[in-house]
Amino acid sequence: MSTSLDNSILTVILGGGKGTRLYPLTKLRAKPAVPLAGRYRLIDVPVSTSINSGITRIFVLTQYNSASLNRHLARAYQFDRFSNGFVSILAAEQTPSSKDWFQGTADAVRRSLPHIEGHRHRHVLILSGDQLYSMDYRKMLAHHRETDADVTLGTIPVAADDATSFGILKTDDEHIITEFHEKPDRDELDGLESPVGPGLEDEGRVYHASMGMYIFDREPLHELLNANPNDHDFGNQIIPKAIDKMRVASYPFSDYWSDIGTIRSFYEANLMLAEPEPPFSLYDPNRPLYTRARMLPPAKVQNSTVQDSLITEGSLVENSQISKSVVGIRSYVGPDTTLKNTVMMGADHFRWHDMEERGFVEGPANPGIGENSYVEGAIIDKNVSIGKRCIIKNRDNVQEAEEDLYHIRDGIVVIPKNTRIPDDTII
């Protein structure tokens, strides 16, 4: 872990709203609390990246379905008494000046300023809680200072086909942003190109898209939020006004980055992590991904074939075939079962753990997958129990569906948390 910076900067992570595009994974939890790679949660990415960048004073702003997120943060991030580091949860609260929930990203930061102001700082780093990437924020801060900016936006170069899904920022040769266009149509992209390197230009990635990642100087942040009390969102409202009035810079970032906002992007990001040489590595010793320490036993794989997959701790795989999949903590995969292109999130307790001995009673008695079952192209949420001889595969290529025991989103079968699938079920 890097040594801490001085007290010039602190981090604010936005805990997310309802996360409707990730439903049903967000039915019982906030979006940043959704499990990642079988053992982490999405929130671990910005928290770990901040710690690895030497920024150890971190606020997480939470609101919707936040109980499991708050619990995870409290258990995972405890700094020793000799450090000034902390991960502090700022939940939406009623105050004499406001009795409403957070109305958006900017409103959440605005209403949290009294707590943030209790800590000395010159800059505020504002991050999303539901993205996957690896970055050294110190480089972004150095760029912010070198350009003498009031505000700096993290940006990523995209091609025309992707530009319509982002806020596009036009920059000059000194990385200063001159224009902002929110999700422009394809025929509106002419003239919005920005200077990029030769390799990116050859790929057609000449449009700078906002990553929803900002560094504000302290005074400009206060000025923008206080002067525009009815502006609740950074991307659509605060940032365009900052560009009109202040010096706003772009920090171009060209490594791997994924906005995990949909079922499809979540599914693909998880399976990417199981590839032989993924663009985002969980095995970089200089950039560890921190999470809650669970003290679980190693995974046990018996008489099975496993290919390009992640099998996490506490799991038991018996006489099965697993390919291009993620198997989460405490998972059980029964004999003669096949798992292909599947994200299995695991369980909060072992399958063989007596119900009477558990400290809680959430979920079916026997989580995991029974014998002689076949699962392909699915996301299996935590504590799901799939019976014997089940087949879960979107054979008819249905894109969207709502059923009692499952949902289909973007063509992916999603089994919600705590669901029990009876023996011989065919989906």
Tens-digit pLDDT string for the chain (427 aa) = 444 555 799 999 998 767 788 999 999 898 999 999 999 999 999 999 999 999 999 999 987 778 889 999 999 998 887 788 999 988 765 555 555 666 678 888 988 888 999 999 999 999 999 999 999 999 999 999 999 999 999 999 999 988 988 989 999 889 999 999 888 898 888 888 888 888 888 888 989 999 999 999 999 999 999 998 888 889 888 999 999 999 999 999 989 999 998 999 999 999 999 999 999 999 999 999 999 999 999 999 999 999 999 999 999 999 999 999 999 999 999 999 999 999 999 999 998 877 777 766 677 889 999 999 999 999 999 999 999 999 999 999 999 999 999 999 999 999 999 999 999 999 9
Distances (CA, A) of 43 to 48, 95, 166, 376: 9, 27, 22, 27
Distances (CA, A) of 26 to 16, 17, 37, 175, 350: 11, 10, 17, 37, 23
What are the DSSP E strand ranges found in 134-204? 151-158, 167-171, 177-182
pLDDT at 253: 93
pLDDT tens digits, residue range 274-287? 999 999 999 999 99
pLDDT at 336: 97
pLDDT at 376: 98
- Rounded Cα distance between 188 and 170, Å, is 13
Domains and CATH numbers, the chain: 9-273 (3.90.550.10), 300-421 (2.160.10.10)
Instruction: Tell which phi-psi region holds residue 320, choosing left (phi > 0), alpha (psi between -120 and 50) or beta.
Output: beta
pLDDT at 6: 57
pLDDT at 104: 77
- Rounded Cα distance between 424 and 386, Å, is 9
pLDDT at 261: 86
Distances (CA, A) of 131 to 48, 220, 244, 262, 376: 12, 26, 28, 11, 25
pTM tops 0.75: yes
DSSP state of 203: T
Name every residue whose Cβ is closer than 8 Å to that of residue 146 and which is 6 or more positions away in sequence: none
- Rounded Cα distance between 300 and 177, Å, is 53
3-state helix, strand, coil in the chain (%, to 5): 20, 30, 50
From the list 3, 30, 35, 36, the residue with the least C-alpha distance to 15 is 30
pLDDT at 414: 98
